[in-house]
Chains A and B, each alone.
Chain A
Amino acid sequence: MNINNRQEKLIDYLYDEMNKEDRAAFEMELQADASLQKELQQMKQVRSHLQSIPDVDLREPLVIPATTPPAATHRLRWLKPFYGVAASIAALLLLGAWTGLHVEAGKGELVLAFGKSVHTRLFQMKHPLRRKSRNTWISIYRPIRSRLNRWLTPPNQRCRTGSASNKILLNRWYPINTWFSPGQ
């Protein structure tokens, strides 16, 4: 029996991982070999000492989530912090469209108005150059607002053609115009 084979058999015998035939053969060897018997007894003694070490109690069991957390690896995950900002901007745009908000800027002035803005004579007199800039703005803004208004209007309430009809619609949809307009 070579040394490695001897160790292997000794360990298998010690831990009872030997089949019946091998076990019987090893026991025969044991009877004939005093040093093997001694080694086996010493190993058994070490095992008995090792078994005297008790288990330790885990006093506070871990709190672990009941479900498996998914491996979140979505490609657009980095956009998540901006969702709130985007939603706020969208809400503001919708609110602006619904209230007919329009903004005029130019010549060092900023005008915010709901619905159709009407400039008083006094306003125009004070700033003769403003009218030009306002007309420029209106030429850009009104067609957009008109289309948006048409798009927001239910099909059965839409006017077929004509800006005059649209104006009526505008007043019906945005009665707030009449509250803030100083009168013409």
Chain B
Amino acid sequence: MDHWQQRIYNLAYKMIGDEAVAKDILQKTFIKVYQHLHKLEEADKFRPWVYKIAVNFCNSELRKTKRTESLTEVHAGMVSSSITSEHRVEQNELKDLIWQTLGQIPEEQKAVIIMKEYEGFKFQEIADILDISINTAKSRLYYGLRSMKKLLSENPHTKAYYYEYQ
């Protein structure tokens, strides 16, 4: 169960960008899971089912408050305080920047990116969780990645990574 808690917490944290809210979503998700576990007929559907509950809680939280600015604040706190080398500083700054960029793209695109990149779902599973078609899932991922590329290539710190392909 710890594995699922960790995964759902990461999903919520990457979606919302706030540790306390992510924990709250984790708690709500697992309370709902325990309350409705008897309704789950097939054990192999547990994973998409749990994620669907969590994503719904994330979406309702995002609807309540726009937390794009908190992404920056929270992620700033994630940078290790024991940075010793310049390279390490650069790497952490880059992570911060990517984190911020992820927070700037539309929520429905971000949800697909997080589920695909960090949770490793197949497109069919993403489509089932989000109640969309497979083509819509692929399209959201495509436009999400393109939006990120655009934002990162406009940023002076990450422009160089994309320059060679322009």
List A contacts of B116 (CB < 8 A). 15
List A contacts of B165 (CB < 8 A). 38, 41-42, 45
Task: Known contacts A11-B138, A17-B123, A49-B158; decide if A56 and B9 are in contact (CB<8 Å).
Answer: yes
* Cβ-based interface call for A32 (8 A): no
**Stretch of A65-73, A88-96, A144-152 with 4 or more beta carbons under 8 angstroms from chain B:** A65-73
* Cβ-based interface call for B118 (8 A): yes
List B contacts of A42 (CB < 8 A). 149, 153, 162, 165
A49 touches B161 (CB 8 A): yes
Task: Known contacts A11-B141, A15-B116, A56-B13; decide if A50 and B148 are in contact (CB<8 Å).
Answer: yes
Say which size band chain B's interface belongs to: 35 or more
List B contacts of A7 (CB < 8 A). 138-139, 142
Task: Known contacts A11-B141, A47-B145; decide if A52 and B98 are in contact (CB<8 Å).
Answer: yes
* Cβ-based interface call for A21 (8 A): no
List 29 contacting pairs A-B, 8 Å CB cutoff, sorted by A.
A7-B138, A7-B142, A8-B139, A8-B142, A15-B123, A17-B122, A42-B149, A42-B165, A43-B145, A45-B165, A47-B145, A49-B152, A50-B98, A50-B102, A52-B94, A52-B98, A53-B95, A53-B98, A55-B6, A56-B9, A56-B19, A57-B6, A58-B26, A61-B2, A62-B5, A62-B30, A64-B34, A65-B34, A68-B37
